[in-house]
Amino acid sequence: MESTKQEIDYEFLPRFRVYKDGHVERLMETDFVPAVSNDPITRVSSKDITLFQEPNNINISARLYLPKLTTTTTTTQKFPLLVYFHGGAFCISSPFTSKHHNYVNALVAEANVVAVSVNYRKAPEHPIPAAYEDSWAALKWVASHSSNNGGGGGPEPWLNHHADFERVFLAGDSAGANIAHNLAMAAGSGDSEFDNDDPRVNPVVAGGPSLVGLGCRRALVCVAENDVLKDRGWVYYNALSKCGWMGVAEIIETDGEDHVFHLHDLQSEKAKDLIGRLAAFFNRDMPPLP
Protein backbone atom coordinates (compact mmCIF):
# COMPACT_ATOMS: atom_id res chain seq x y z
CA MET A 1 0.00 0.00 0.00
CA GLU A 2 1.39 3.39 -0.97
CA SER A 3 2.54 5.62 1.87
CA THR A 4 0.31 8.56 2.74
CA LYS A 5 3.42 10.68 2.14
CA GLN A 6 2.70 10.30 -1.55
CA GLU A 7 -1.01 11.13 -1.28
CA ILE A 8 -1.65 14.67 -2.43
CA ASP A 9 -3.95 16.84 -0.35
CA TYR A 10 -3.99 19.84 -2.69
CA GLU A 11 -1.86 21.60 -5.31
CA PHE A 12 -1.16 25.17 -6.32
CA LEU A 13 0.46 24.48 -9.66
CA PRO A 14 3.05 25.20 -10.84
CA ARG A 15 4.29 26.44 -7.46
CA PHE A 16 3.76 23.82 -4.76
CA ARG A 17 2.07 20.59 -3.73
CA VAL A 18 0.81 19.69 -0.24
CA TYR A 19 0.67 16.06 0.82
CA LYS A 20 -1.74 14.51 3.29
CA ASP A 21 1.02 13.94 5.83
CA GLY A 22 1.44 17.73 5.91
CA HIS A 23 4.74 18.15 4.10
CA VAL A 24 5.03 20.69 1.30
CA GLU A 25 6.90 20.15 -1.97
CA ARG A 26 7.86 23.33 -3.77
CA LEU A 27 8.07 22.77 -7.50
CA MET A 28 10.01 25.82 -8.68
CA GLU A 29 12.61 28.37 -7.58
CA THR A 30 14.18 26.08 -4.98
CA ASP A 31 17.83 26.41 -6.04
CA PHE A 32 20.46 27.93 -3.74
CA VAL A 33 23.33 30.16 -4.84
CA PRO A 34 25.98 30.81 -2.16
CA ALA A 35 27.00 34.31 -1.15
CA VAL A 36 30.44 35.45 -2.30
CA SER A 37 32.96 37.65 -0.53
CA ASN A 38 33.95 39.42 -3.76
CA ASP A 39 32.08 38.70 -6.97
CA PRO A 40 34.70 38.44 -9.75
CA ILE A 41 32.50 40.32 -12.23
CA THR A 42 30.64 42.94 -10.19
CA ARG A 43 33.07 43.22 -7.23
CA VAL A 44 30.02 43.12 -4.98
CA SER A 45 30.40 41.24 -1.70
CA SER A 46 27.50 39.34 -0.16
CA LYS A 47 26.90 37.33 2.98
CA ASP A 48 24.04 35.54 4.69
CA ILE A 49 22.97 36.45 8.21
CA THR A 50 20.26 35.60 10.71
CA LEU A 51 18.55 38.82 11.73
CA PHE A 52 16.94 37.36 14.82
CA GLN A 53 15.20 34.25 16.04
CA GLU A 54 11.48 34.17 16.72
CA PRO A 55 10.26 32.72 20.03
CA ASN A 56 9.16 29.58 18.17
CA ASN A 57 12.74 29.11 16.88
CA ILE A 58 11.98 30.30 13.35
CA ASN A 59 14.97 32.16 11.99
CA ILE A 60 14.42 35.33 9.98
CA SER A 61 17.37 35.57 7.62
CA ALA A 62 18.64 37.85 4.88
CA ARG A 63 21.39 38.20 2.31
CA LEU A 64 23.42 41.40 2.60
CA TYR A 65 25.22 43.07 -0.31
CA LEU A 66 28.05 45.60 -0.21
CA PRO A 67 29.26 47.38 -3.37
CA LYS A 68 32.92 47.76 -4.20
CA LEU A 69 34.60 50.18 -1.81
CA THR A 70 36.65 52.85 -3.55
CA THR A 71 38.16 54.83 -0.69
CA THR A 72 41.02 53.94 1.60
CA THR A 73 38.97 54.82 4.68
CA THR A 74 36.60 51.92 4.12
CA THR A 75 34.78 52.33 7.42
CA THR A 76 33.32 55.72 6.45
CA GLN A 77 32.17 55.29 2.84
CA LYS A 78 28.37 55.56 2.82
CA PHE A 79 25.87 54.32 0.23
CA PRO A 80 22.08 54.49 -0.16
CA LEU A 81 20.38 51.59 1.62
CA LEU A 82 18.02 49.27 -0.26
CA VAL A 83 15.77 46.85 1.64
CA TYR A 84 14.57 44.33 -0.93
CA PHE A 85 11.71 41.82 -0.80
CA HIS A 86 11.67 38.98 -3.33
CA GLY A 87 8.57 37.90 -5.21
CA GLY A 88 7.06 34.46 -5.64
CA ALA A 89 3.31 34.71 -4.90
CA PHE A 90 4.09 34.70 -1.15
CA CYS A 91 4.80 30.97 -1.39
CA ILE A 92 8.04 30.28 -3.29
CA SER A 93 11.55 31.60 -3.90
CA SER A 94 14.02 33.31 -1.56
CA PRO A 95 16.90 35.80 -1.66
CA PHE A 96 19.19 32.80 -2.22
CA THR A 97 17.85 31.59 -5.58
CA SER A 98 19.95 32.28 -8.64
CA LYS A 99 17.23 34.52 -10.08
CA HIS A 100 17.00 36.87 -7.13
CA HIS A 101 20.64 36.75 -6.08
CA ASN A 102 21.88 37.58 -9.57
CA TYR A 103 19.41 40.44 -9.92
CA VAL A 104 20.13 42.10 -6.57
CA ASN A 105 23.86 41.58 -7.09
CA ALA A 106 23.67 43.36 -10.47
CA LEU A 107 21.47 46.15 -9.07
CA VAL A 108 23.87 46.78 -6.18
CA ALA A 109 26.78 47.01 -8.62
CA GLU A 110 24.97 49.43 -10.94
CA ALA A 111 23.39 51.62 -8.27
CA ASN A 112 26.19 51.56 -5.67
CA VAL A 113 23.83 50.74 -2.81
CA VAL A 114 24.02 48.57 0.27
CA ALA A 115 21.21 46.01 0.11
CA VAL A 116 19.40 43.80 2.59
CA SER A 117 17.43 41.10 0.77
CA VAL A 118 14.91 39.69 3.26
CA ASN A 119 13.86 36.05 3.53
CA TYR A 120 10.36 35.97 4.99
CA ARG A 121 8.17 32.98 5.89
CA LYS A 122 5.91 31.69 3.14
CA ALA A 123 2.55 30.08 2.55
CA PRO A 124 1.10 27.52 2.81
CA GLU A 125 2.96 26.70 6.05
CA HIS A 126 2.86 30.35 7.10
CA PRO A 127 -0.08 32.16 5.49
CA ILE A 128 -0.38 35.93 5.27
CA PRO A 129 0.20 38.01 7.35
CA ALA A 130 3.43 36.12 8.23
CA ALA A 131 5.28 37.61 5.24
CA TYR A 132 4.33 41.15 6.28
CA GLU A 133 5.16 40.54 9.94
CA ASP A 134 8.58 39.09 9.17
CA SER A 135 9.38 41.88 6.73
CA TRP A 136 8.29 44.56 9.20
CA ALA A 137 10.45 42.96 11.90
CA ALA A 138 13.37 42.90 9.45
CA LEU A 139 12.84 46.59 8.65
CA LYS A 140 12.89 47.42 12.37
CA TRP A 141 16.12 45.42 12.70
CA VAL A 142 17.63 47.46 9.86
CA ALA A 143 16.46 50.71 11.50
CA SER A 144 18.17 49.74 14.76
CA HIS A 145 21.48 50.52 13.04
CA SER A 146 20.51 54.16 12.45
CA SER A 147 21.82 56.77 14.86
CA ASN A 148 18.60 58.73 14.26
CA ASN A 149 16.69 55.78 15.68
CA GLY A 150 18.74 55.58 18.84
CA GLY A 151 20.98 53.00 17.22
CA GLY A 152 24.15 53.27 15.21
CA GLY A 153 25.60 50.39 17.13
CA GLY A 154 23.57 47.59 15.63
CA PRO A 155 24.94 44.07 15.26
CA GLU A 156 25.81 44.32 11.54
CA PRO A 157 29.01 46.26 10.71
CA TRP A 158 28.16 46.65 7.01
CA LEU A 159 25.11 48.70 7.98
CA ASN A 160 26.86 50.57 10.79
CA HIS A 161 29.77 51.59 8.56
CA HIS A 162 28.31 51.91 5.07
CA ALA A 163 24.52 52.49 5.10
CA ASP A 164 23.29 56.06 4.63
CA PHE A 165 20.06 56.15 6.64
CA GLU A 166 19.13 59.47 5.06
CA ARG A 167 18.64 57.56 1.78
CA VAL A 168 16.62 54.40 2.45
CA PHE A 169 14.59 52.61 -0.23
CA LEU A 170 12.08 49.75 -0.03
CA ALA A 171 11.72 47.69 -3.19
CA GLY A 172 10.59 44.32 -4.45
CA ASP A 173 9.30 42.37 -7.40
CA SER A 174 5.75 41.05 -7.71
CA ALA A 175 4.62 39.95 -4.21
CA GLY A 176 7.74 41.64 -2.85
CA ALA A 177 6.63 44.99 -4.29
CA ASN A 178 3.33 44.51 -2.46
CA ILE A 179 5.28 43.94 0.77
CA ALA A 180 7.29 47.12 0.16
CA HIS A 181 4.06 49.11 -0.27
CA ASN A 182 2.53 47.70 2.91
CA LEU A 183 5.63 48.44 4.96
CA ALA A 184 5.70 52.01 3.67
CA MET A 185 2.05 52.38 4.69
CA ALA A 186 2.82 50.96 8.13
CA ALA A 187 5.80 53.28 8.51
CA GLY A 188 3.68 56.28 7.58
CA SER A 189 0.84 55.42 9.96
CA GLY A 190 2.83 54.03 12.85
CA ASP A 191 0.55 50.96 12.79
CA SER A 192 2.46 47.69 12.49
CA GLU A 193 -0.59 45.42 12.86
CA PHE A 194 -1.23 43.29 9.77
CA ASP A 195 -4.48 41.37 9.44
CA ASN A 196 -6.29 39.64 6.60
CA ASP A 197 -8.13 42.63 5.14
CA ASP A 198 -8.06 42.94 1.36
CA PRO A 199 -6.42 46.43 1.23
CA ARG A 200 -3.06 44.74 1.80
CA VAL A 201 -3.30 43.04 -1.56
CA ASN A 202 -5.34 45.74 -3.33
CA PRO A 203 -4.16 49.13 -2.00
CA VAL A 204 -6.87 51.05 -3.88
CA VAL A 205 -9.88 48.98 -2.79
CA ALA A 206 -12.90 50.99 -1.62
CA GLY A 207 -12.74 51.49 2.11
CA GLY A 208 -9.01 50.85 2.28
CA PRO A 209 -6.60 53.18 4.07
CA SER A 210 -5.77 56.41 2.26
CA LEU A 211 -2.53 56.39 0.31
CA VAL A 212 -1.91 59.87 1.72
CA GLY A 213 -0.25 58.06 4.62
CA LEU A 214 2.41 56.37 2.49
CA GLY A 215 5.57 56.82 4.55
CA CYS A 216 8.06 57.85 1.89
CA ARG A 217 8.88 60.85 -0.29
CA ARG A 218 9.28 59.15 -3.68
CA ALA A 219 7.74 56.09 -5.32
CA LEU A 220 8.66 54.40 -8.60
CA VAL A 221 6.20 51.89 -10.10
CA CYS A 222 7.56 49.54 -12.78
CA VAL A 223 5.21 47.65 -15.10
CA ALA A 224 5.57 45.72 -18.35
CA GLU A 225 3.36 45.97 -21.44
CA ASN A 226 2.39 42.27 -21.60
CA ASP A 227 2.06 41.69 -17.86
CA VAL A 228 -1.46 40.69 -16.82
CA LEU A 229 -0.97 42.87 -13.73
CA LYS A 230 0.09 45.96 -15.69
CA ASP A 231 -3.27 47.71 -15.36
CA ARG A 232 -3.20 47.30 -11.59
CA GLY A 233 0.19 49.00 -11.53
CA TRP A 234 -1.22 51.95 -13.46
CA VAL A 235 -4.25 52.14 -11.16
CA TYR A 236 -1.91 52.25 -8.16
CA TYR A 237 0.26 54.94 -9.74
CA ASN A 238 -2.75 57.09 -10.68
CA ALA A 239 -4.27 56.73 -7.22
CA LEU A 240 -0.99 57.70 -5.61
CA SER A 241 -0.63 60.72 -7.89
CA LYS A 242 -4.14 62.04 -7.19
CA CYS A 243 -4.76 61.21 -3.52
CA GLY A 244 -2.99 64.20 -2.00
CA TRP A 245 0.12 62.29 -0.94
CA MET A 246 2.94 64.81 -0.55
CA GLY A 247 5.54 62.68 -2.33
CA VAL A 248 6.49 62.28 -5.99
CA ALA A 249 5.23 59.24 -7.93
CA GLU A 250 6.77 58.00 -11.17
CA ILE A 251 6.00 55.06 -13.44
CA ILE A 252 8.00 53.10 -16.02
CA GLU A 253 6.31 50.82 -18.57
CA THR A 254 8.61 48.54 -20.55
CA ASP A 255 7.34 47.72 -24.04
CA GLY A 256 6.94 44.15 -25.23
CA GLU A 257 7.81 42.45 -21.92
CA ASP A 258 5.97 40.33 -19.37
CA HIS A 259 5.85 39.90 -15.60
CA VAL A 260 9.25 40.38 -13.85
CA PHE A 261 10.98 40.01 -17.22
CA HIS A 262 14.17 41.56 -15.82
CA LEU A 263 14.70 38.61 -13.48
CA HIS A 264 14.70 36.08 -16.28
CA ASP A 265 17.32 37.63 -18.55
CA LEU A 266 19.57 40.15 -16.84
CA GLN A 267 21.66 40.54 -19.98
CA SER A 268 18.81 41.73 -22.18
CA GLU A 269 18.93 45.36 -23.19
CA LYS A 270 15.56 46.09 -21.60
CA ALA A 271 16.60 44.53 -18.29
CA LYS A 272 19.81 46.55 -18.32
CA ASP A 273 17.81 49.69 -19.10
CA LEU A 274 15.45 49.05 -16.18
CA ILE A 275 18.34 48.43 -13.77
CA GLY A 276 19.96 51.66 -14.97
CA ARG A 277 16.77 53.62 -14.36
CA LEU A 278 16.40 52.13 -10.90
CA ALA A 279 20.00 53.06 -10.14
CA ALA A 280 19.32 56.64 -11.22
CA PHE A 281 16.23 56.74 -9.01
CA PHE A 282 18.19 55.55 -5.96
CA ASN A 283 20.94 58.11 -6.49
CA ARG A 284 18.80 61.14 -7.26
CA ASP A 285 18.71 63.91 -4.68
CA MET A 286 15.83 63.60 -2.27
CA PRO A 287 13.07 66.22 -2.60
CA PRO A 288 12.77 68.54 0.40
CA LEU A 289 10.31 67.60 3.11
CA PRO A 290 6.96 69.42 2.77
Q: Is 18 in the same domain as 155?
A: no
Is 43:109 a contact under the CB 8 Å cutoff? yes
Q: Is 93 in the same domain as 200?
A: yes
Of 215, 244, 279, which residue constitutes the final position of a domain? 215
| Statement: the pTM of the whole predicted model exceeds 0.75 | yes
Let me know if 174 is a catalytic residue: yes
The average pLDDT across 96-117 equals: 98
Q: Is 75 in the same domain as 6?
A: no
| 264 vs 191, higher pLDDT | 264
Residue 53 covered by a domain: yes
| The pLDDT value given to residue 38 | 95
| CATH number, domain containing residue 100 | 3.40.50.1820
| The pLDDT value given to residue 73 | 56
3-class secondary structure, 96: coil
Q: How many domains does the chain have?
A: 2
Q: Is 53 in the same domain as 189?
A: yes
Parallel, antiparallel, or unpaired for β 16-19 and 24-26? Answer: antiparallel
| The pLDDT value given to residue 234 | 96
Residue 239 covered by a domain: no
Q: Is 191 in the same domain as 153?
A: yes
Q: Is 77 in the same domain as 183?
A: yes
Residue 112 covered by a domain: yes
User: For 133-155, what is each residue's pLDDT tens digit?
Assistant: 999 999 999 999 997 654 467 89
Q: Is 90 in the same domain as 186?
A: yes
| 2 vs 245, higher pLDDT | 245
Q: Is 50 in the same domain as 191?
A: yes
| 111 vs 154, higher pLDDT | 111
3-class secondary structure, 276: helix
User: For 222-277, what is each residue's pLDDT tens digit?
Assistant: 999 999 999 999 999 999 999 999 999 999 999 999 999 999 999 999 999 999 99
**Position 197 confidence tier, pLDDT thresholds 50, 70, 90:** very low
Q: Is 53 in the same domain as 126?
A: yes
Q: Could you tell me the residue range of the domain that residue 23 belongs to?
A: 1-28
**Position 192 confidence tier, pLDDT thresholds 50, 70, 90:** low
In the predicted model, is pLDDT for residue 179 greater than 60?
Answer: yes
Residue 19 covered by a domain: yes
DSSP structural state of residue 204: T
Q: What is each CA distance from 126 to 58, 91, 120, 129, in whole angstroms?
A: 11, 9, 10, 8
Q: Is 154 in the same domain as 20?
A: no
User: For 21-44, what is each residue's pLDDT tens digit?
Assistant: 989 999 999 999 999 999 999 999
Q: Is 59 in the same domain as 186?
A: yes
**Position 188 confidence tier, pLDDT thresholds 50, 70, 90:** confident
The average pLDDT across 100-108 equals: 98
Residue 242 covered by a domain: no
Q: Is 68 in the same domain as 136?
A: yes
The catalytically annotated residue of 94, 174, 189, 268 is 174
CA distance 64 to 156: 10
Is 212:184 a contact under the CB 8 Å cutoff? no
Name beta bridge partners: 53.
59
